[in-house]
């Protein structure tokens, strides 16, 4: 599940109270109020601990089409089926910024999420409350992928009373520089990774390096494509070919994965949901070592407390060829056998 890219319009007047009519669950740990420069936002009304389920929300309506195929007519048809109360809440969305929405299509594009469902066709739903959660490249919550139409948000770190609850609109931002992120967002984020300074410079390097490490471990870039022969994230032609042919040695693959996790940890993006997504594949890589000494080092690395320490231990394997590499290489056509 990923949110449709949307822009935030600045608020002309902080006296607008349209969102006070939104129905917020009584146990929700937040309130809606103006967020300077971002329209309305969600702010914690109580301490929210890391891992806490902030909100489960069902869509006001869904449209079972790819986003690019959704028309104004589709949205008007969905709107016509709403109850009077739901219609009133939908129309509140036009009061978010300084300029009211001129079409229902623009209201949907800025306040909807693409979800995975049990059906084969793509599903986009309109979520009134989650659409008020603003963006940060250093978020304090996450809305993970789901196979149902309901979406859920979780705190990825402790959130203090009065702090705005913000998530990252695009998962690939973990691998994109500040310029690339702002170009995609069409607005300027004000988190520490975006504000000029030493952290931003270090952040750009960490995210760029993470992108390259991802290319080396999965064999393609963020868009799922190889870069051909044009200059790209991987400039060494032999290394790039090895990655795209899935010929990166086992020891290097483990080191690349652990370094990427260490960079995420240093960036402040590490959370339980990220670990749950990537740790199983890292453990699977560890299980593939067939040289006993190398397998012991790999297992020792995974017992360390931090990802930096895991990477530090695993780096002892750099340049070492495990027996599993030989077995894998022997099953490849000779034209694809390449050592790195």
The residue behind tokens 């979520």 is 127
> What CA–CA distance (Å, rounded) separates 64 from 58?
15
In this prediction, residue 34 carries a pLDDT of: 86
| Residue 49: predicted pLDDT | 96
| Cα angle 33, 151, 130; round to 5 | 15
pLDDT for position 149:
84
d(CA 167, CA 170) in angstroms, rounded, equals 9
Q: Are strands 112-115 and 53-57 parallel, antiparallel or unpaired?
A: unpaired
Percentages of the chain per state (helix, strand, coil), in multiples of 5: 45, 10, 45
Query: How confident is the model over 70-113, as pLDDT tens digits?
Result: 888 888 888 889 888 888 877 777 655 445 566 676 667 667 77
Tens of each residue's pLDDT in the chain, 340 residues: 444 334 333 333 333 445 566 778 889 999 998 888 787 899 999 999 999 999 999 988 888 877 778 888 888 888 889 888 888 877 777 655 445 566 676 667 667 777 765 455 678 888 888 988 999 999 999 998 877 888 999 999 999 999 999 999 988 999 999 999 999 888 889 999 999 999 999 999 999 999 999 999 998 888 777 765 444 688 888 888 888 888 899 999 999 999 999 999 999 999 999 999 999 999 999 999 999 999 999 999 999 999 999 999 999 999 999 988 876 554 444 333 333 3
* Predicted local confidence at residue 95, as pLDDT: 58
* pLDDT score, position 15: 33
Q: What is the pLDDT of residue 98?
A: 44
β 166-167/134-135 pair status: parallel
* Contact present, 122 and 32 (Cβ < 8 Å): no
Please report the pLDDT score of residue 334 as a whole number: 37
Collapsing DSSP states into helix, strand and coil, what is residue 15?
Answer: coil
Predicted local distance difference test score (pLDDT) of residue 338: 35
∠ at Cα 69 (97, 55), nearest 5°?
A: 50
Cα separation, 307 vs 309, whole angstroms: 5
Maximal CA-CA distance, the chain: 71
Other beta carbons within 10 angstroms of residue 252's beta carbon come to 21
Strands 30-34 and 40-44: antiparallel
Specify the pLDDT at position 40.
83
Task: Compute the half-sphere exposure of residue 192: CA atoms within 13 Å on the CB side of its CA.
Answer: 10
d(CA 97, CA 85): 22
**How many helices and strands (H and E) does the chain possess?**
11, 11
- Residue 261's Cβ-count burial label (10 Å; 0-12, 13-18, 19+) is buried
């Amino acid at each position: 599940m990923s949110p449709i890219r949307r822009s935030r319009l600045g608020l002309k007047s902080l006296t607008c109270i349209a969102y006070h009519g939104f129905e917020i669950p009584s146990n929700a740990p937040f309130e809606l109020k103006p967020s300077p420069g971002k329209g309305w936002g969600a702010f914690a009304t109580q301490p929210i601990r890391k891992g806490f389920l902030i909100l489960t929300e069902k869509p006001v309506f869904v449209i079972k089409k790819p986003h690019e195929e959704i028309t104004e007519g589709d949205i008007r048809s969905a709107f016509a089926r709403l109850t009077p109360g739901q219609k009133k809440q939908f129309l509140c969305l036009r009061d978010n910024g300084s300029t009211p929405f001129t079409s229902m299509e623009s209201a949907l594009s800025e306040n909807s999420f693409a979800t995975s469902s049990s059906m084969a066709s793509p599903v986009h739903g309109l979520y009134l409350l989650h659409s008020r959660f603003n963006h940060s490249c250093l978020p304090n919550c996450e809305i993970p992928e789901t196979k149902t139409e309901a979406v859920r948000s979780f705190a990825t770190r402790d959130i203090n009373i009065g702090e705005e609850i913000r998530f990252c609109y695009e998962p690939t931002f973990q691998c994109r520089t500040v310029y690339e992120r702002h170009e995609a967002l069409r607005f300027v984020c004000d988190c520490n990774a975006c504000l000029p300074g030493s952290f931003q410079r270090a952040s750009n390097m960490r995210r760029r390096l993470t992108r390259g490490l991802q290319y080396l471990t999965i064999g393609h870039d963020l868009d799922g494509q190889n870069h051909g022969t044009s200059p790209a994230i991987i400039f060494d032609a032999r290394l790039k070919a090895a990655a795209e042919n899935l010929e990166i040695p086992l020891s290097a693959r483990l080191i690349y994965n652990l370094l990427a996790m260490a960079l995420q940890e240093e960036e402040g993006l590490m959370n339980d949901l990220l670990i749950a997504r990537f740790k199983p594949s890292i453990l699977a890589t560890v299980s593939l070592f067939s040289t006993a000494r190398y397998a012991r080092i790999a297992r020792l690395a995974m017992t360390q407390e931090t990802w930096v320490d895991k990477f530090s231990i695993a780096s002892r394997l750099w340049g070492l060829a495990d027996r599993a590499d030989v077995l894998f290489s022997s099953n490849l056509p000779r034209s694809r056998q390449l050592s790195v």
